Amino acid sequence: MTDPILVAANVHKRFGHVEVLKGIDMTVMPGEVRCLIGPSGSGKSTFLRCVNHLETLDLGYIAVDGRPVGYDVRQGRLHEAAPHVVARRRAEIGMVFQQFNLFGHLTVLENIALAPIKIKKESGRAAHDHGRELLDRVGLGDRANAFPAQLSGGQQQRVAIARALAMRPKLMLFDEPTSALDPELVGEVLDVMTDLARSGMTMIVVTHEIGFARKVGDVLTFMDDGHVIEEGDPHEVISAPTHERTRSFLSKVL
């Protein structure tokens, strides 16, 4: 039996008086592409941020590759891990945001190589060689020495994907990676993500791109109001949802 790459159990998260996650359970297997859909405010992005400990949990448990990212387990209880431990575990999880968050004063290749050099202590030569390989992979092999301002939004997001891959993550998180792009640039980013999925990368993708979820996803999860409402094979959930809330949502976005 293969162990899950991610296990989430009874995850709760609130901001002030607003409870955003209300008991999320989820298991993701190695190589699985899990797509999360749902209305704005349903908790999708907050859940992703909890996975790599950008947000702390109020209740529940999330483990990646068998270990909680932001906590140590001592005598059966969770305790906040030391910052250097959190950083080391978080380095195993790549995350691509809506905004590209590239350093404008660094070249494309320098953006990609920075974290492996600073966090994983790779040599500059090794990090730059790997960065060039990743740029070839995302179709930007000729833009290594360009600066972010010289690239289109789609190109910048592909650089952001390459930057996340440079850490050789076990799990990739995508938080609506195409939502900030002009419509004609969406396809080039989805093509890179599709290739990544076909290579066997484990991915959790928050997306409004239903076509991508149907084509590439292994499991589709519909969230609403902090709950998992429905999940299953993407074709089945999209073509024949069993929950009225799912039917209502899909009728508006398809």
Q: For the chain, give every domain's residue range.
A: 6-92+169-253, 102-168
- Averaged pLDDT score across all residues of the chain: 95
Residue 1 has pLDDT above 80, yes or no: no
CA nearest neighbour of 162 among 190, 185, 133, 182: 133
Q: Is the dihedral of CA 96, 100, 105, 107 positive or negative?
A: positive
Buried/exposed 12-22: b ≥16 CB within 10 Å, e otherwise = bbeeeeeebbb
The residue ranking higher by pLDDT, 224 or 72, is 224
Domain 6-92+169-253 is classified in which CATH homologous superfamily?
Answer: P-loop containing nucleotide triphosphate hydrolases (3.40.50.300)
In 3D space, the residue among 202, 253, 199, 191 whose CA is nearest the CA of residue 224 turns out to be 253
Question: Residues 10-32: what's their mean pLDDT?
Answer: 97
Give the pLDDT confidence of 75-109 residue by residue, as tens digits.
Answer: 878 888 888 888 888 999 999 999 999 999 999 99
- pLDDT by residue (tens digit) across 189-199? 999 999 999 99
pLDDT at 219 over 80: yes
Q: pLDDT at position 72, please?
A: 86
Give the pLDDT band (50/70/90) at residue 236: very high
Lowest mean pLDDT among 63-67, 130-134, 226-230: 63-67
Q: Over 90: is that where the pLDDT of 132 sits?
A: yes
CA 194 to chain centre: 14
**In this predicted model, what pLDDT tens digit does every residue of 135-183 receive, in sequence order?**
999 999 999 999 999 999 999 999 999 999 999 999 999 999 999 899 9
